[in-house]
Chains A and B, each alone.
Chain A
């Protein structure tokens, strides 16, 4: 199982903070997972997740570009950070 989390504006726009996706070889990397979510949840999700400033993290570390996923991984999608 993959755990997928959304934060801040992305969470609000999607109306979800967390969901689980069964791990298969069709969601074996972050790009494939994102495409899977967009196909499963529709055009609104595709528009939100396609924004070019969206940051992606795997197991609580930011990834740049695509990244492989294993069963049990946690993936997060969030906007640029504004703490401090």
Chain B
């Protein structure tokens, strides 16, 4: 299980407490005037298939370092005071939290924008893979979505640092 307190990135099987994470983020930021957060959840249905469980596989070590690089990139682009990312791996059920991104800044513009940037980039470059299992035990790997790739174009992200 990867834990990197310095980079503010956690990849873990355990669930997380959003209120605790946000308090810790604000404390670390020092003088935050704005915090923007994003939370992703497992849906009951995906691509018209019922989801019984979702398994998240990842590349330990690279997941942490690639998300940390995204956070650093965001902090270089916008005046971010502090940022945190938690991503769960292992077996999850519909309704469970998968990912949390929190960004603290003096003003809301930087907080909103950096939070969205981190999430967009995470979806297309962090080495994580979802496998959905249906109620009958049928399982399949979730396919990457072109729309996620297209969202990256808004950020003028160089192809050198992307995962595909």
Contacts and interface: CB of A to CB of B under 8 A. Distances in A.
B126 A81 contact: yes
Nearest to A76: B59
Contacts of B123: 81-84
A26 interface: no
Nearest to B160: A64
Nearest to A9: B141
B99 A84 contact: yes
A83 to B, nearest CB: 3
Contact of B144 (A5, A12, A62, A80): A80
Interface string B130-147: 110000000001111100
B58 interface: yes
A9 B98 contact: no
Interface residues of B, number: 35
B14 interface: no
Contacts of A7: 57-59, 127, 129
Secondary structure at the B interface, as helix, strand, loop or mixed, is mixed
B142 A60 contact: no
Nearest to B120: A84
Contacts of B87: 83-84
A81 B141 contact: no
Contacts of A78: 59, 127, 129
B129 A82 contact: yes
A65 to B, nearest CB: 11
Contacts of B58: 7, 83
B59 A55 contact: no
Interface of A: 5, 7-9, 12, 53, 55, 57, 60-62, 64, 76, 78-84
Interface of B: 40, 56-59, 61-63, 65-66, 87, 98-99, 119, 122-131, 141-145, 159-164
Q: Would you list the 6 A-B pairs with minimal beta carbon distance, nearest first?
A: A83-B128, A80-B144, A8-B129, A84-B123, A60-B62, A82-B142
